[in-house]
Amino acid sequence: MMDITAAMVKELRERTGSGMMECKKALVEANGDMELAIENMRKAGLAKADKKSGRIAAEGVIGAKVSDDAKTVVMVDVNCETDFVAKGDDFVAFVSDVTNALLATDVENDEQLQALVLASGSTIDETRRALISKLGENITVRRFVKYTATDGGQAAYLHGSKIGVIVELAKNYSVLGKDIAMHVAAAKPEFVSEDQVSAELIAKEKEIFSAQALESGKPAEIVEKMVGGRINKFLAEITLLGQPFIKDDSLTVGKLLANNGNAVIRFARFEVGEGIEKKEEDFAAEVMAQVRG
């Protein structure tokens, strides 16, 4: 039986990021064979990761980055199970690595994303699974969006680590782009302009407003005016160009853009956990689960 030295344990810890006792155990089982110990630990880690894949991951971090020439921007939503893990250095570094890799490579779907090789030499999926094994939580790269422009410019805004927005402008102007992205983070518009709103959605709202207005017992022509006014208000509320600008509500975002001779081509807004059924857990229980884990 080979002697397992402290230096061997140290090397294995540095190479795997695992705990001291786990490394010592793996080296004993592999009779001091470093590569075999790493391979066995990786297999065990993958098995552990697969077991956790069904657990709800509704916490996490949004990553966003604009290229140096402002022509490309990427935003990614990486999820874990608790805010405790989301704030940890390992998780934050993973989000940063994924964001940088996406910015530098053309990726169109989730399959390509998982196979993307990070600066470390491992793929996103391999790194993610190793992180699950290390941190003990399910971790998913839930979604990403990437814009590339030939003529215009990109901007990004992160509100803490939980809300992210990217905006593409017709002309590159980083200050205006950041202001618009900040506005989108706060005001949550659904569309850029009225022409993007479907006729079905407008008809549905018209039906609701008409029914409400008719109950008032006012004449038909007044009802029609009332419904027209309500529809205009509704469209202003859900479109970026129609909303009052958060930094100066005396002008709309549309007016702000016109004043700057610019236009918004498109935008995207991510919020951690949106659309995910969350499991209710109190903070004390979360901490206890971490300690026991």
The token pair at 249 is 């509500």
| Residue 157 · residue 174 · CB < 8 Å | no
The continuous run of DSSP H or E covering 248 comes out as strand 248-252
Range of the domain at 163: 59-192+265-292
Q: How confident is the model at residue 52 (pLDDT cuts 50, 70, 90)?
A: low
167-202: pLDDT as tens digits: 999 999 999 999 999 999 999 999 999 999 999 999
pLDDT greater than 70 at residue 161: yes
- Whether 169 and 98 map to the same domain: the answer is yes
> Which residue has tokens 């803490």?
160
CATH number at residue 10: 1.10.8.10
- Whether 32 and 171 map to the same domain: the answer is no
- Whether 69 and 26 map to the same domain: the answer is no
Calpha distance 66→158 (Å, rounded): 12
Work out the average pLDDT over 139-161.
Answer: 94
Spatial neighbors of 174 by CB under 8 A, at least 6 apart, are 70, 153, 155
| Residue 102 · residue 76 · CB < 8 Å | yes
Residue 188 lies in a domain: yes
- Whether 157 and 281 map to the same domain: the answer is yes
Q: Return the top range by mean pLDDT from 228-237, 259-268, 280-289.
A: 259-268
Residue 197 lies in a domain: no
264-290: pLDDT as tens digits: 999 999 999 888 766 555 556 666 666
Calpha distance 286→223 (Å, rounded): 54
Q: How far apart are the first and last CA of the chain?
A: 32
Average pLDDT, the chain: 87
Work out the average pLDDT over 41-55.
Answer: 61
CA angle 171, 172, 176 (to 5 degrees): 100
Calpha distance 17→23 (Å, rounded): 9
Give the global pTM. Answer: 0.76
